[in-house]
Structure 1
Amino acid sequence: MKALIIGAGGVGAAIVNIASRKSFITSMVVADRTLSRAEAAVARVKDARFAAAEVNAAELEDLRALIRKVKPDVVVNAVDPRFVMPIFLACEIENTNYIDMAMSLSRPHPHYPNTETGVKLGDEQFARDWNWKERDIFALVGMGIEPGMSDVFARYASDHLFSRLDSITIMDGSNLTVEGYEFAPSFSIWTTIEECLNPPLVWEDGRGWFTTEPFSEIETFDFPEGIGPVECVNVEHEEVV
């Protein structure tokens, strides 16, 4: 498999590290706006299958040119969701399969943001489903840890572990620390702030889609594996879509 990774930050570099241990990867180009960062990610794995490139993820034509040059089987979007649509559209136009870990951005309801939905996460991508089907290419959207694996776990639980589920709630808590940092998110700080300030999205049978206030429904949850109690609140996230 030939892969093109867009983004050589914390997530992109982690993908490169994992991919270097997979024999099915025949080649992987790691592209970033800062070429030196892509080169550093490649240098760490010391693998001839990997190469670095420079790209501006905000520029559709720049992305298209790189896709045509690399000719990948799949493009993996590892940048923050502000750049989802340029990369998504570049793959669509160039007939290339696509994976991301965060979906197209939402826009709150202009008058009732904390009760009604405006443009939901992923709406812009789902609206183009017909075109991807016509082109016979695949887009695996929201497929990181969460969203992504959390949805797989929820579906597995529904299909194989329980005869009935009344609700599914995704809880996120950790005791992760990084020496020298009081606060160290494991992905884009912009995304961290944005998803906490946007109205959280909820779906209920019989009611459909609605939103709540940011940081609503405070609950202390006792996480396993030594993490312990963590105060949890509602945030906007893609699992529900």
Structure 2
Amino acid sequence: MKVLVLGAGAVGTVSALKFVKEAMLEKLLIADAVSARASLLAERLKDPRVSAIRLDAGDRAAVAEVIRHTGITIVLNAALPATNIDVMRACLEGGCDYIDLASAGTDADGIPKMDDQFALDAEFKSAGRLALLGMGADPGTTNVYAAYAAKHLLDVVTELRVRDGDNSICQGHDGFLAAFSPWVMIDECLCKAVSYRGGRYHLEEPLTGMEPFNFPELGVLNCYYVDHEESRTLPRFFPDVHTVDFKLCMDEVTVETLRVMKRLGLSRKDRVQVGDQSIAPRDLVVSLLPEPKDLAGRMHGKTCVGTLAKGLKDGKPKAYYIYNVSDHETVFAELGVQATAYQTGIPPVIAARLITQRIWRGTGVLSPEQFDPDPFLQQLAREGMPWRVRDDTPVALSRGVLQQPRKAVAAA
């Protein structure tokens, strides 16, 4: 396995730390648009199989040339999702498989940019290559949890609701921050969120749909609609599902900060003239926030990522929440990272292993829920992310959000 990791940020760091533990790893090339970031990570790993280069993930020709020149067999794109299409095309030109962590959101007219990635399916099939989209924590493990529910827990899956909780605090920082890419977080939270209801896609207004959710080990936290890949892909592959949505827990400070940011135009991506300088307001905001990789050792608390699956088993209504809880202090003691990056960086390493071992097979552009969940989940627990299943059936029935199936009435 010869791996190119694009992006030496918080998630790329976790993935690299795990890749060097792979016995089948022949080469790990760490690339970042800022050469010092890639070099520092390579030096930290202290492994002769590891090297670093300066490389812009958005430079399709340069990425393709690196793939060809180094014999890379799989690329993990841990750079910004806006580079996905360029990197996918570079993989086609260079001749290797592809994994990413997230898509680039939804256009103003509600068309998911992920559709542009799925549109490359025929080209990847023709090349005999695999592109695996959204293989982080969420999307990623959440999609696999859905597949597990369909395989082992439910005969018919009718609802899939992804709920992401976090009770973290950051030592020395009071106010808004993002444990993953601030640029991506602002994008996901402030664009209209895709949901799937009644067999149709809908666009929800940003920061609406507030719902208290009881997270294991974290307690009840308020969650809001956020634009996420699961709402787009899961309805494609579960024929009986009628509801899919994603909600992220956010405290009042985060919600109000995002709302003010939008009102003031500080979330804008286009450049504005300030004196003799031209700057995108969002770039300014992001530059004032701590980088997610620098939060390691300062974060305290836990994060919970899971999928609430509802449906029928033996004709009876059931509900299960399948999840992982990660503790900031525990993962820092293991790898020197923070929990959100840990939960996101480990799944693509497992996926790369399964693809290399031909346990997960396929060509074209695929989503995690299309694969057998069992080998992935077996390895997820061994890699430090134990997952659990909570039976939410009694609670769902008591609240009337899980209906008993209607009794059949014989025709007169």
TM-score, normalised on structure 1? Answer: 0.91
- Deviations 1:50-98 (Å, cap 9, x if unpaired)? 1101101222222122222222110100011111111111112222110
Which residue, out of 184, 187, 193, partners 1:191? Answer: 184
Q: Which residue of 1 aligns with 2:126?
A: 134
Moved over 4 A (4+): none
Q: Distance in 1 between the 2:134 and 2:113 partners?
A: 10
- Please name the residue that 1:69 is paired with: 69
The AA in structure 1 aligned to 2:214 is D
5+ residue gaps, structure 1, are 110-116
Aligned match of 2:223: 232
Give 1 or 2: higher helix fraction: 2
After superposition, residues 210-221 of structure 1 pair within 5 angstroms as 210-221=202-213
8 Å contact from structure 1 (residues 219, 232) kept in 2: yes
Distance in 1 (CA, whole Å) between partners of 2:204 and 2:14 is: 34
Pick 1 or 2: higher relative contact order, CA cutoff 8 A, min separation 6.
2
* C-alpha deviation, 1:169, in angstroms: 0.5
**Which structure 2 residues correspond to residues 107-186 of structure 1 after superposition, within 5 A?**
107-109=107-109, 117=110, 119-182=111-174, 183-186=176-179
CA-to-aligned-CA distance 1:189-235 (integer Å, 9 cap, x gap): 00000000111111235x3222111122110112112x112110001
After superposition, residues 92-111 of structure 1 pair within 5 angstroms as 92-109=92-109
Matched-pair contact (CA < 8 Å) for 1:103–1:238: yes
For the residues of structure 1 that align with 2:179 and 2:94, how far apart are their CA atoms? 31
Query: Looking at CA atoms only, which structure, 1 or 2, has the larger radius of gyration?
Result: 2
Q: Whole-Å Cα distance in 1 between the matches of residues 169 and 49 of structure 2?
A: 33
| SS of aligned partner of 2:225 | coil
Within 5 Å, which residues of 2 pair with 1:10-49?
A: 10-49=10-49
1:209 and 2:201 correspond: yes
Is contact 2:105-2:228 (8 Å) kept? no
2:178, 2:24 → 1: CA distance? 31
Residue identity matched to 2:224:
V
How far apart, in 2, do the equivalents of 1:212 and 1:202 lie? Answer: 7
Q: CA offsets, 1:123-145, max 9 Å, x none? A: 10111101110110000111111
Equivalent position SS for 2:106:
coil
Amino acid at match of 1:17: L
- Aligned residue pairs: how many? 231
CA contact (8 A) 1:200 1:211 kept: yes
Contact 1:28 1:51 in 2 (8 A): yes
Could you tell me which residue of structure 2 aligns to residue 81 of structure 1?
Answer: 81
- Identity among equivalent positions (%) equals 32
Higher strand share: 2
Helix, strand or coil at the partner of 2:158: coil
Cα deviation digits, residues 16-45 of structure 1 (max 9, x gap)? 111122212121000001111011111112
Name the SS of the counterpart of 1:154 in structure 2.
helix
Q: Distance in 2 between matches of 1:91 and 1:175?
A: 38
Amino acid at match of 1:28: L
- Over aligned residue pairs, what C-alpha RMSD do you find? 1.4
Stretch moving more, 5-14 or 177-186: 177-186
Amino acid at match of 1:63: V
What is the CA–CA distance in structure 1 between the aligned matches of 2:140 and 2:195, rounded to whole Å?
17
Shifted more, 33-42 versus 175-184: the winner is 175-184
Partner of 2:5: 5
Question: Does the Cα contact within 8 Å between 2:105 and 2:227 map onto a contact in 1?
Answer: no
Q: CA deviation at 1:104?
A: 4.0
Distance 1:176 1:20, change over 3 A: farther
Moved more, 134-143 or 18-27: 18-27
How big is the shift at 1:186? 2.4
Q: Quick one: distance in 2 between partners of 1:140 and 1:127?
A: 13
Q: AA paired with 2:186?
A: I
- Are the equivalent residues in 2 in contact too, given 1:4–1:70 (CA < 8 A)? no
